[in-house]
Structure 1
Amino acid sequence: MDGTTRYPPRDRELHRRLVYGDETALGEAYDAYSALVRTVARRVTGSTAVAGEVTQRVFIDLWTCPYAFEPGQGSLRAWLSIRGHHGAVARMREAEAEAERAGCGTEGEEGAEGAEGSSEPVEEARVALHTALTELPLPEREALHLACFAGRTYRQVAVELGIAETAATARLRNALSSLADRLAGPPAGPGSPADEARDEC
């Protein structure tokens, strides 16, 4: 299947209009895909408020730099989903850095640390998982995002990516295998990155 027919014409049309500064095109893209981006960001950060901020940033970026999206390289849905994921991971890292600078868990707060410390391994697992997701090859990342975050079946993934069902299945299998390898480590209990990866899909 060649690049001219692989993705729906709507993506190319929206892209053309965005490049020419058509604000209604941005509105159409937002109406169609903002819920997906917000869901991705919320699943990564666990915060509805932060997810809203990430979503706003993603669409601002689409408006100010429409050339960053290349219709021939993937669907707008997948591109926005991945951008939302990257933005959410960046926010998680910023939050971690801010917590470290604030000196969370000092000796004077030992009691509070004991009460809240149990959530730290879970947050570390989330960061590890979503960081690993950003490092997957683009074809595998697109497939995994559509399956895990957009709730698509492997057949729907195949249709949206313009590939055979066997290829979609292979990409999903390879993506999950790669994640398992990247997150491999000493046996861990609930809350480990491996558990998080299974829960995401």
Structure 2
Amino acid sequence: MVQHVVINRELSEEVVQEIFIIVWQDAAKYQPATGTPMAWLMTIAHRRAVDKVRATQSSRNRDHRWATTAPSAYDGVLDDVTDKMDAQILIASLACLSALQRESIVLAYFGSLTYQEISVKLSVPLPTIKSRIRDGIQKLRTQIETP
């Protein structure tokens, strides 16, 4: 009966051991007027088996909740501070660029425009925009990597 309720063989064996301990300890509580010894034993077994199933399911639910909520419980303060510091360094580094390079880079990376869109917006040939951005990024990289 226990294995039918619990299904897992190892857990069923644990439950049966617990049942034997309960029966041994509570044998004096058995009252013949309320039913047969087998009925008393089966009642204890069924209750203990159901308890084990509920406990196992509850544990799985907790593990699942923890696994799915852990990322959202992540404290992103360090990442926010690091991102803000990186942004401050980048903004300060933009000062080393020429006005034309800065304008092209700001439009590309902060304005989310393509090279073609920047070319049209500034009325400048596409190869010139590409060169400005490439040269500006190289300057930025040098500026940021230099301590």
**TM-score band w.r.t. shorter chain:** 0.3 to 0.5
TM-score by length of 1: 0.32
| Greater helix fraction, Structure 1 or Structure 2 | 2
Structure ID, larger Rg: 2
